[in-house]
């Protein structure tokens, strides 16, 4: 896929001040950009090593989508209502 041909499909979302805060791209374009970036990083032995180390570290703390949602829900409740586990002094 030619990235230049798909840029017309890129969408942006702006905040109330008119600043672009989100960019939505077609998945095929995203995958193309992602693979180009990875290929660029893998050209350097130092960057290749750092990338592989980062991937390994990321896997160590990986959680399922359900677990992430549960954690986010818990954090949201704490933020909105205060920490229910906090001892009263």
Same domain, residue pair 3 and 31: yes
The residue with tokens 């001892």 is: 87
Domain count, the chain: 2
Contact 29, 9 (CB under 8 A): yes
pLDDT the model gives residue 87: 54
Is 37 inside any structural domain? yes
| Residues 18-33: tens digit of each pLDDT | 999 998 988 888 888 8
Same domain, residue pair 39 and 2: yes
Q: Could you list the residue range(s) of the whole structural domain that residue 9 is in?
A: 1-43
The residue with tokens 């703390």 is: 61
Contact 6, 29 (CB under 8 A): yes
Is 49 inside any structural domain? no
Is 60 inside any structural domain? yes
Same domain, residue pair 5 and 38: yes
What is the value of pTM for the model shown?
0.39
């Amino acid at each position: 896929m030619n990235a230049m041909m798909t840029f017309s499909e890129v969408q942006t979302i702006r905040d109330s001040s008119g600043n672009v805060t989100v960019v939505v791209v077609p998945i095929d374009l995203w995958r193309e950009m992602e693979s180009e970036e990875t290929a660029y990083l893998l050209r350097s032995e130092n960057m290749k090593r750092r990338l592989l180390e980062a991937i390994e570290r990321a896997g160590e703390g990986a959680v399922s989508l359900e677990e992430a949602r549960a954690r986010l829900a818990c954090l949201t409740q704490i933020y909105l209502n205060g920490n229910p586990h906090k001892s009263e002094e």
